[in-house]
Amino acid sequence: MKVLLPGTVPLDPDLPAGVTTAVYDVRRPVPDEHTDAEVLVVWGNTPENLSDAAQRLKAVRWVQTLAAGPDAVLAAGFATDVVVTAGLGLHDRTVAEHTLGLVLAAARRLNRLVRAQIGRRWAGEWGGLQPVDEPGAFRTLRDANVVIWGFGGIAARLAPLLAALGARVTGVARAAGERHGFPVVTDADLPGLLPETDLLINILPATRETAGVLGAAILDRLPAHAWVVNVGRGATLDEDALLAAIRAGRLGGAALDVFAEEPLPVTSGLWDEPDVIITPHAAGGRPEGASALLGENLAAYLSGGSLRNVVS
């Protein structure tokens, strides 16, 4: 059995007997001599490469993406009997770390301070003596109400970090209850949380159901000082509604790592807003434990066992 490995990340899985590998260029069509591969591993592939692979790899039976979200693979057009597994868990630590950085930058107004530094201006309004308590403002995680929409593995890493700095964290997921010591409610309960929310963190995947779900109906229920952080998928956020809310003073600001179109077009109004923090889809990018996941799934695949992270 042949397994195609992307050249974008070093992979050294434990290979069961009879398994061979070949490294391919994720930016070009798979060479003809490798179209007999049964397994395709995906990381950083261009849409054109994936579409070509879906058409020409007639023997492929399983696609393992190292991304947490499988949307790019699902959009490529592989046959419906091809098993797709996602890279859930490979990015939990790195995305949680980046999200914490965005949250602290927003609370401490590093975006404003960097702009002042570039202009060689001493931004005294953000320094010196500051109020211990500042009602109607998001300036600290102490006693801040934080809602994490999409409470999965990344949130499980992130929530304790936020709580350690004093935040009150509530998760939103498909099923209510308690996860990792934090209360979790369903989407139906989200509107009731929003008026008291200081920070809304979106980690939703891109699906038909989540397209544009973070739009005006959600943003309008947030208090005017609240911030929105998006580290899930750009397709889940209505960028026009967000921009309108910030410009009208109905939202404190936003820290965004993912966008509907990437790279973010230079014509986007988001670039010019002083209270919008932009990072270039930088939260992940480091699939930790990818070789171990691939090795485990290869063994399960050959033995007829259950693969991890199968996409339904």
- Active site members: 233, 262, 281
Which has the closest alpha carbon to 89: 148, 40, 43, 155?
155
Other beta carbons within 10 Å of 69: 22
Inter-CA distances, 275 with 12, 121, 140, Å: 43, 17, 16
Radius of gyration of the chain (CA): 22
Which residues, in sequence order, are CB contacts of 304 under 8 Å at separation 6+? none
Q: Are 138 and 107 a contacting pair, CB within 8 Å?
A: yes
Q: What is the DSSP string of 79-101?
A: -TTSEEE--TTSSHHHHHHHHHH
Q: Residue 30 is encoded by which pair of tokens?
A: 């798979």
Q: Give the helix/strand (H/E) hosting 242.
A: helix 239-247
Q: Are 190 and 129 a contacting pair, CB within 8 Å?
A: no
Question: How far, in Å, CA of 238 to CA of 268, rounded?
Answer: 13
Which residues, in sequence order, are CB contacts of 138 under 8 Å at separation 6+? 106, 107, 144, 198, 199, 225, 226, 227, 252
Q: Which residue do the tokens 């930790």 mark?
A: 288
